Each structure stands twice: as structure tokens, then as C-alpha cells.
A and B are shown apart, each in its own frame.
Chain A
């Protein structure tokens, strides 16, 4: 396997891990914030929101997944371009749609299918470009 193919493959694996962590993290955060309710922009309002987020289990699980996402993201951009990794992460929306059909048995509108197709073609196009167009440093030295 050539260096570029290997780079593309390991970036793809890392992007898939990013997608899983980011989607789960966002869902948990949204669930936690819905439980907390509207946040008011005032000192007491923000203090109350901060205390509520600290005490929310859903928020903490969301944070753990987002830490996992950050670690995967940092690893991916250490060897590949930011403009390569970032759009590839949008593949998660296609995965979400497939999960909605397979797991939740939801009906998906033609409009949504068009959107998913656009994302897939976009990711495919980005995936065909050179993963790294800048000169990176080598591996971290001990």
C-alpha cells in the first residue's frame, strides 16, 4: 500500500470514530440542555445554567464523547489537512439517516435523500484529493 493510500485509509478510520463520538456527544448535550430548560443571559441565569450543567449526567456523558472526538480529531489533523478532515466528518449525517431507517424504521423524505446524496458526493470528492498538501512534522519524539 502506498504512503498516500495508507494515509487516506487511516484518516478514514479516524473520521469514522470522530463521527460516532461527535453524534453521540451532541445528542447527549441536547438531551441534557432540554432537561435544564431556557438559559437566561444574566449573571444569575448563567450561574444557574452552569450549576445545572455540572450536575447533569447527560451533559457529562456528552462531554466524555466530545473529549473522544477531540482526541480523534487531533490525531487526524496531525497527519492530514484540516480542509480534508473537516468535510469528511459530515459523513455522519448520512450515517444518521441510515440509522433512522434501519433502527427507528422512520420514513425519509426525498428531499432528505437528496441532501444525503449531496453529502456523500461531496465527501467522495474531498476524499479523492491529496490528504496532506502541507509538510508535516514527523511522529512525536519521546
Chain B
């Protein structure tokens, strides 16, 4: 059980860190001009030249592989609810690192989503 908890902490930190870095990098790049393949390719190419994306990728790769390991160690119904803490950790990161204005309403929404996800997945399918 200890190894599952440690791996879950590692997964949450890598996943949140990676998503925050990607979000910061993509904001610097700007949005795609349209959804045509060429415009999307241009967007991906511009993102690929942003250094924050290269910080995000190893973190997301580490979180991806730790998730694979977690899936092999524990049932999905255990792994996914525990990783719901991503929502709270991510919102803290958005507020203090990305300087987003997280209003009380948004916090309330995030806490409800986190609690809801935990309840849904702890009950299993039935």
C-alpha cells in the first residue's frame, strides 16, 4: 500500500507540474488561428519551440508512466479517485504560479468537482 501512495503522490506532482508548465507555455504561444490542419500544425510547431513545453513533456511523460504502473498495481476504481486531488493541487498552482484570479465561486466549484469525482469512483459502477 505504501508504494501505491508514494507513486500516487509522484503522479499528482508530475501531472500537475506538467499541465501548469504546458498551460504557461501555450499562453505565451497564443491560440491557433483556425482549426484547419495547417493552422493546427503551425500552432503545434510554435508550441514545440517554447521552452516551457520542454519542461512539461518530461513531467507529463513521468506522470503517464507512473499512471501505467499504478493501473497494474491497483484497480482503476482506487487509482482514479485518489488522483482527484489533482484538481485542488492544480488550482493552487494556477492561483500562485500562473497568477489566475480564482474567485470563491471557482474554488467552490473545484472542491465540489473533486469531492464528486471521489464519491463517484469510490462507489464503483453500481
Q: How far is B29's CA from A79's CA once the two chains are assembled, in angstroms?
A: 10
**Which of chain B's residues have a CB closer than 8 A to the CB of A119?**
112-113, 116-117, 120
Q: How far is B109's CA from A56's CA once the two chains are assembled, in angstroms?
A: 38
Return the chain A residue nearest B91 by Cβ. A83
Contact indicator A125/B108 (Cβ below 8 Å): yes
The interface residues of chain A, by DSSP majority, are classed as helix
- A residues 100-139 near B (Cβ < 8 Å) are 100, 106-109, 111-112, 114-130, 133-134, 136-139
- Asked if A54 CB lies within 8 Å of chain B CBs, one says no
Q: How many residues of A contact B (CB 8 A)?
A: 62
**Which of chain B's residues have a CB closer than 8 A to the CB of A34?**
71-72
Map CB proximity to A onto B1-18 as digits: 1 under 8 Å, 0 otherwise.
Answer: 001000000000000000
Interface size on B, as a range, is 35 or more
Q: How far is B69's CA from A29's CA once the two chains are assembled, in angstroms?
A: 11
**Which of chain B's residues have a CB closer than 8 A to the CB of A120?**
116
**B interface with A by C-beta (< 8 Å):** 3, 19-20, 22-23, 26-33, 39-40, 42-44, 46-47, 64, 67-69, 71-73, 76, 80, 86-87, 90-91, 93-95, 98-103, 105-106, 108-121, 123, 125-126
A-B contacts, 7 of them at CB < 8 A, read A71-B40, A78-B32, A82-B100, A90-B87, A108-B126, A120-B116, A140-B31
**A interface with B by C-beta (< 8 Å):** 26, 29-30, 33-34, 36-39, 41, 49, 53, 66, 71, 73-75, 77-79, 81-84, 86-87, 90, 93, 97, 100, 106-109, 111-112, 114-130, 133-134, 136-142
